[in-house]
Structure 1
Amino acid sequence: MYRKLISLLLLAAVGIVLLAGDLAGARGWAFFALVGITAFFGIGLAAHFFALKKNPGGEEFGNCLPIMAVAVAGVAATWCLSVKLGLNTAVASGLVGLLAALVLPGKLAAVAYTASFAGMSSLAVLTGLPMVICAGVLVGGFYILALPVYEGIGGKLGTMAAGAVLATVLIFSLLGGI
């Protein structure tokens, strides 16, 4: 119980630091300080995940490829429906989630639904297909690592999607907007 609470607090700290930096318009040295603080909390969170006695992601590690493929497809489908076809983001996410629930088995449908949250990002956030694919891969990775740790805690799917989009934006800004 305490481990789940600590990991939830660490994840919340990462999100708060990123949000605070964005609201403050962090540039220059402030941006690098923000990255350092986020890395510190991220490393603590990763160390906490791997310190758990149970294997995080247990059975999910055996089928990483389908999870990653569904995550990338879910982000891409939602993003294309909203950005390219002009559908409302909530409608696009709902369509992807409904289709996934009808076609895919339970866990993969949950992955697609999680990914659809990340795909709700606007063109100003996910500016192209490389960013969409990166966000999908990160959603899949976060799902594999975090779902068993946050079992029974509400809001984890949206949190994973938001974290994946934030990490994608950070990666691409550090790489110079490839």
Structure 2
Amino acid sequence: MKRTISQFALAIVFVLQSAFLGAIIFEKTNIPTVLGLLTIIGVLTIVAWRKIPHHRYDHLWEDCWLIAFVASGAVLTFFLSSGLHMNSVVSVGLVGLAASFVPKFTGDNLLSQQIPAAIYCGAFVGMTSPDIAHGYQFILLAATTAGVLLILSKNVFHGYGGKLGTMAFGGVVLVAIILEYFLK
């Protein structure tokens, strides 16, 4: 079961990263080039997956708290950027800085060590443009989705950069697609 969850999480990370890079590349180039680059990325991802050491963590019910922390980071960042009209990069920086101090004030347990990353992932969700996120309901849905993706990807690419942003991107894109095409 753990191996299946790990493989599913790897597939999610791969699809999200491919979609993100594909959107960037597709904007400037043609379809065969995009497909070729995505194939290369896929091969490199599989090679990296086989070469890196895998960390096995159990998915605990306490991990569900991480969804709440992702949501809190998202809402706070969205409030700072759209409600108080701060620059979104500054908003993320402030939220991330505040989140980094959480383990100092909480107990030394596994959950409190994961809180800053969850809040920071949420901060990336909160950077969503108000043109896409038409309010706090969208941000909460996207943050919840990103939180679930973050929990599922707990064992994937542990310690490698880009996972928090990828999970935030995935949450925002999935919710935007669902709201645009399925609930309209």
Same fold by TM-score, threshold 0.5 exceeded?
A: yes
Q: Which has the higher contact order (CA 8 A, sep 6+)?
A: 2
Counterpart pick for 1:117 among 124, 129, 132: 124
- State the 1:55 CA deviation: 9.7
Pair 127,98 (structure 1): closer, same or farther in 2 beyond 3 Å: same
Q: What residue in structure 1 maps to residue 74 of structure 2?
A: 75
Match status 1:161 vs 2:172: no
- Sequence identity (%): 28
1:28-72 Cα offsets, whole Å, 9 max, x none, are xxxxxxxxxxxxxxxxxxxxxxxxxx99751x4321331111111
Aligned residue pairs, count: 143
1:78-117 Cα offsets, whole Å, 9 max, x none, are 0010001001101111111111111252201110011101
Pair 118,57 (structure 1): closer, same or farther in 2 beyond 3 Å: farther
Pair 89,173 (structure 1): closer, same or farther in 2 beyond 3 Å: same
Q: Which structure has the larger Rg over C-alpha atoms?
A: 2
Q: Kindly indicate whether the alpha-carbon contact (under 8 Å) linking 2:17 and 2:166 is maintained by their aligned counterparts in 1.
A: no
- State the 1:146 CA deviation: 0.8
Q: What residue in structure 1 maps to residue 85 of structure 2?
A: 86
How big is the alpha-carbon RMSD for the aligned residues of Structure 1 and Structure 2? 2.9
Rounded Cα–Cα distance in structure 2 between residues aligned with 1:9 and 1:176: 26
Rounded Cα–Cα distance in structure 1 between residues aligned with 2:147 and 2:14: 22
- State the 1:167 CA deviation: 0.9
Pair 57,167 (structure 1): closer, same or farther in 2 beyond 3 Å: farther
Rounded Cα–Cα distance in structure 2 between residues aligned with 1:56 and 1:131: 32
Amino acid corresponding to residue 154 of structure 1 in structure 2: G
Secondary structure in 2 matching 1:64: helix
Amino acid corresponding to residue 93 of structure 2 in structure 1: G
Gaps of 5+ in 1: 25-53
TM-score (structure 1 length as normaliser): 0.69
Pair 82,109 (structure 1): closer, same or farther in 2 beyond 3 Å: same
TM-score (structure 2 length as normaliser): 0.67
- State the 1:123 CA deviation: 0.3
Matches within 5 A, 1:128-139: 128-139=135-146
Q: What residue in structure 2 maps to residue 15 of structure 1?
A: 20
Matches within 5 A, 1:25-44: none
Gaps of 5+ in 2: 1-6, 29-53, 104-111
